[in-house]
């Protein structure tokens, strides 16, 4: 299969005949060889038996075939002996699903829980579901095995193995910084280095030490990954022992393109159809792209092309997968496709680590990711599409070869791979730190004295403190405690600017409206703009448009949606080119935020159709995100005097209001603002007088 496939693929005249707006150029690959990369200490057997019908193999048999299985006693002995242990093992060797079960079966956790952190919701949930099945609980997930993610807690007092996002464990640490609920904390996918994981490293280390000093039940820490820098981690965790597990379940054949492909989306589509023509129908495909818009566009392209009578191959079921989808939607990608149908999952990096999607034999890796980067110099947090790191490329490759031999097609050359950064730069060194700073303060810790594995830049810590001071969460930049307002702000699982907006809504009498806007901003855009039907989409949504900008427009659309019965919501969204999934996700988030507001006893009131209180309230949290008209069409941000432009997708594009507040900055050829609301300069003087006086410069007549 492999050589035949490769041969055909190299023969670029053999490109499938299908109509596509821009015909995908042939993508030619060479073979990078199977993924044997790591030296080992524990020699685990590599298993290569290629069972075609996985359903015939019992789940317990599958567990026994995992490379980790025969080393479990040795592993348990090491776990017993060491309070902190680093475990490095190939993707798919069984770390995430098996180690917690081994600990549980050996009853090493006494009366405590085993907590396993995951950087992402979809991983925490899907792995918990799988492990519940393996444990054999009749009622499924929520009993012996449970999970906790933002807005969802599926555990019970009987839960022993709990998968949770790192953000959730951090929130638990704010309630009990000794984490007494747990005997074991397993920090999985440690290489990811999200802000939350980096903070957690310090928190669990501190909790372990404090429990030892207080002679409480010891806290055992396991740090796991397939691709981490062991020495760096070991140094940080007091020179702890590292154990290497070799062996993957099945090999993955890796191919690189022979030439570079700027248009990686089209190259992914072309590669998919090459695979589609050759591979048996039950070999599914996972494509890695960067964000929702791109994923939906490629999904649509694949749907259309797969229906073309000239394209050979079985039916295709296309499943997009990205962070802002509701959980129920995300979980559907794990369902098998019907008979004679190939499933293709098009995902962001949410599918990059931990997860196993049954049936995936092929991975197509665009080599790109959308990452958030904060620039202390400009004060702006930006989303930028960039190259992945080598570690990420191996994680993506690792999503194939979990149930049988797999294939990974990299839409980049070997030389491009060699020029990629080895590891991803820790998020803590490139993101706005105000969330970290406020969460640490809730624990009584000043970020400047926190034991980070890699210290964030001093400027970023200072900028975060200054932002929190302006928001009223701290008294000074040296504060070690939060103000009363700050303590309330930290109750919301949100950026402090948005928590401030919610807390200010009481004063403006518009909490109903603000809850809706903040919820809509927590997910991805509800507006669909298919390039072929842009005009129709705009016309159908004309009635929601507000001259005051995008946030009020969002609010208008949601209000109508929310008043419809659930039976008519779908067709209404379709008619108005609105993304139903993103709407229902926002509705879910709104319910959760409402609960926090009720807990804080905030009056849930509405300002009706008056937009002014809403715009003022947004300004109360986003005054640092204001731009002033400078020259025709060009704006300057008040905070750091950065030249910016209004994004063409904004409803106020073409108007030139003197002042706008914004919620997003995108950098393409220029710096663009998205998510805008018009405001009056006088409001700035009323809401944040000192800030207004020191920052408004151009509007001389004030």
Ligand X SMILES: Nc1ncnc2c1ncn2[C@@H]1O[C@H](COP(=O)(O)OP(=O)(O)OP(=O)(O)O)[C@@H](O)[C@H]1O
Contacting positions for ligand X (CB under 6 A):
66, 89, 91-98, 130, 226, 249, 353-354, 356, 358, 398, 402-403
Long-range CB contacts for residues 679-684, cutoff 8 Å, separation at least 24: 679/615, 679/616, 679/618, 679/619, 679/626, 681/628, 683/615, 683/616, 683/619, 684/619, 684/623, 684/626, 684/659
Distance (Å, whole) CA 696 – CA 190: 44
- For ligand X, the closer of residues 35 and 96 by Cβ is 96
Least separation in angstroms between residue 436's CB and ligand X is 25
Contact status, residue 383 vs residue 361, Cβ threshold 8 Å: no
- For ligand X, the closer of residues 130 and 695 by Cβ is 130
Contact status, residue 611 vs residue 550, Cβ threshold 8 Å: no
Contact status, residue 159 vs residue 146, Cβ threshold 8 Å: yes
Residue with tokens 């499943």: 319
Q: How far is CA 647 from the centre of its chain?
A: 24
Beta-bridge mates of residue 583: none
Residue with tokens 């839960």: 159
Nearest to 695 by CA among 638, 611, 614: 638
Distance (Å, whole) CA 314 – CA 334: 19
CA distances, 445 to each of 173, 474, 475 (Å) = 12, 13, 15
- For ligand X, the closer of residues 333 and 660 by Cβ is 333
CA atoms within 13 A of residue 146's CA, in its CB half-sphere: 16
- For ligand X, the closer of residues 357 and 440 by Cβ is 357
Distance (Å, whole) CA 154 – CA 175: 19
Least separation in angstroms between residue 56's CB and ligand X is 14
- For ligand X, the closer of residues 106 and 210 by Cβ is 106
- For ligand X, the closer of residues 112 and 119 by Cβ is 119
CA atoms within 13 A of residue 241's CA, in its CB half-sphere: 13
Distance (Å, whole) CA 117 – CA 681: 45
Contact status, residue 366 vs residue 264, Cβ threshold 8 Å: yes
Least separation in angstroms between residue 55's CB and ligand X is 11
Least separation in angstroms between residue 38's CB and ligand X is 12
- For ligand X, the closer of residues 189 and 664 by Cβ is 189
Nearby residues of 151 by Cβ (< 8 Å), 6 or more positions away: 588, 589, 592
- For ligand X, the closer of residues 122 and 445 by Cβ is 122
- For ligand X, the closer of residues 24 and 401 by Cβ is 401
Q: How far is CA 308 from the centre of its chain?
A: 34
Count, in order, helices (H) and strands (E) of the chain.
25, 22
Distance (Å, whole) CA 251 – CA 92: 10
- For ligand X, the closer of residues 400 and 441 by Cβ is 400
Least separation in angstroms between residue 201's CB and ligand X is 18
Distance (Å, whole) CA 692 – CA 675: 22
CA distances, 641 to each of 431, 434, 629, 652 (Å) = 20, 20, 11, 21
Least separation in angstroms between residue 359's CB and ligand X is 9
| Angle at the Cα of 635 from the Cα atoms of 631 and 637, rounded to 5 degrees | 140
Residue with tokens 């990811």: 192
Beta-bridge mates of residue 662: 676
Nearby residues of 73 by Cβ (< 8 Å), 6 or more positions away: none
Strands 380-387 and 284-288: what pairing?
unpaired
List of E strands, 230-297: 241-245, 252-257, 284-288
Least separation in angstroms between residue 438's CB and ligand X is 31
Distance (Å, whole) CA 492 – CA 498: 9
- For ligand X, the closer of residues 226 and 589 by Cβ is 226
Structure tokens at 314: 């079985």
Structure tokens at 50: 């290629």
Contact status, residue 548 vs residue 615, Cβ threshold 8 Å: yes
Contact status, residue 436 vs residue 460, Cβ threshold 8 Å: no
Contact status, residue 380 vs residue 332, Cβ threshold 8 Å: no
Contact status, residue 518 vs residue 501, Cβ threshold 8 Å: yes
Contact status, residue 335 vs residue 310, Cβ threshold 8 Å: no
Q: What is the DSSP string of 18-40?
A: ---SSPPPP--EEEEEE------
- For ligand X, the closer of residues 356 and 499 by Cβ is 356
Distance (Å, whole) CA 483 – CA 473: 5
């Amino acid at each position: 299969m492999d050589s035949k496939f490769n041969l055909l693929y190299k023969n670029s005249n053999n490109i499938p005949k299908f109509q596509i707006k821009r015909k995908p150029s042939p993508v030619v690959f060479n073979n990078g060889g199977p993924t044997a990369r790591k030296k080992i200490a524990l020699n685990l057997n590599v298993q290569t038996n290629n069972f075609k019908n996985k359903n015939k193999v019992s789940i317990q048999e599958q567990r026994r075939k995992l490379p980790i299985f025969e080393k479990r006693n040795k592993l348990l002995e090491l776990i017993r002996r060491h309070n902190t242990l680093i475990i490095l093992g190939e993707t798919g060797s069984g770390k995430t699903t098996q180690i917690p079960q081994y600990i549980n079966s050996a009853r090493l956790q006494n009366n405590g829980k085993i907590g396993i952190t995951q950087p992402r919701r979809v991983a925490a949930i899907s792995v918990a579901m799988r492990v519940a099945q393996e444990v054999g609980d009749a009622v499924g997930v929520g009993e012996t095995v449970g999970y906790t993610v933002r807005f969802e807690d599926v555990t019970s007092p009987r839960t022993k193995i709990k998968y949770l996002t790192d953000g959730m464990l951090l929130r638990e640490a704010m309630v009990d910084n000794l984490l007494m609920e747990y005997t074991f904390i397993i920090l999985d996918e440690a290489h990811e280095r999200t802000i939350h994981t980096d903070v957690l490293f310090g928190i669990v280390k501190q909790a372990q030490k404090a429990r030892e000093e207080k002679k409480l039940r010891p806290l055992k820490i396991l740090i796991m990954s397939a691709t981490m820098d062991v020495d760096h981690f070991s140094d940080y965790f007091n020179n702890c022992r590292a154990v290497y597990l070799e062996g993957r379940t099945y090999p993955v054949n890796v191919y690189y393109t022979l030439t570079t492909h700027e248009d990686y989306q089209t190259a992914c589509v072309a590669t998919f159809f090459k695979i589609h023509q050759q591979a048996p129908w039950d070999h599914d495909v996972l494509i890695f792209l960067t964000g929702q818009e791109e994923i939906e566009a490629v999904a649509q392209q694949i749907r259309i092309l797969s229906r073309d009578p000239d394209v050979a191959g079985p039916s295709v079921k296309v499943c997009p997968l990205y962070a802002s989808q509701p959980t129920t939607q995300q979980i559907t990608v794990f369902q098998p496709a019907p008979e004679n149908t190939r499933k293709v999952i098009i995902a962001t990096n949410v599918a990059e680590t931990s997860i196993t999607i049954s049936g995936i034999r092929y991975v197509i890796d665009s080599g790109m990711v959308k990452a958030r980067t904060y620039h202390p110099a400009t004060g702006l947090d930006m989303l930028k599409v960039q190259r992945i790191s080598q570690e990420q490329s191996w994680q993506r490759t690792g999503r194939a070869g979990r149930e049988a031999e797999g294939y990974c097609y990299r839409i980049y050359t070997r030389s491009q791979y060699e020029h990629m950064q080895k590891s991803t730069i820790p998020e803590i060194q490139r993101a706005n730190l105000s969330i970290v700073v406020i969460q640490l303060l809730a624990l009584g810790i000043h970020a400047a004295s926190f034991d980070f594995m890699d210290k964030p830049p001093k400027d970023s810590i200072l900028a975060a403190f200054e932002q929190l001071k302006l928001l009223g969460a701290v008294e000074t930049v040296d504060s070690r405690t939060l103000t009363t307002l700050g303590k309330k702000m930290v109750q919301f699982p949100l950026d402090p600017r948005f928590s401030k907006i919610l807390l200010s809504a009481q004063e403006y009498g518009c909490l109903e409206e603000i809850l809706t806007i903040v919820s809509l901003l927590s997910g991805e855009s509800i507006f669909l703009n298919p390039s072929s039907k842009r005009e129709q989409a705009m016309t159908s949504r004309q009635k929601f448009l507000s001259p005051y900008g995008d946030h009020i427009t969002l609010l208008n659309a949601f209000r109508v949606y929310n008043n419809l019965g659930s039976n008519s919501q779908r067709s209404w969204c379709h008619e108005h080119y609105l993304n139903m999934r993103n709407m229902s996700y926002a509705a879910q988030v709104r319910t959760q935020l409402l609960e926090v507001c009720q807990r804080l006893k905030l009056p849930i009131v509405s300002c009706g159709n008056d937009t002014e209180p809403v715009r003022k309230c947004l300004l109360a949290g986003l005054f640092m995100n204001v731009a002033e008209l400078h020259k025709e069409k060009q704006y300057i941000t008040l905070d750091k005097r950065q030249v910016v432009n209004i994004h063409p997708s904004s409803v106020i594009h073409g108007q030139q209001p003197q002042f706008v507040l914004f919620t997003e900055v995108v950098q393409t050829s220029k710096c663009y603002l998205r998510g805008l609301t018009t405001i009056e300069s006088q409001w700035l003087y009323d809401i944040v007088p000192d800030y207004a006086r020191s920052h408004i410069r151009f509007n001389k007549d004030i």
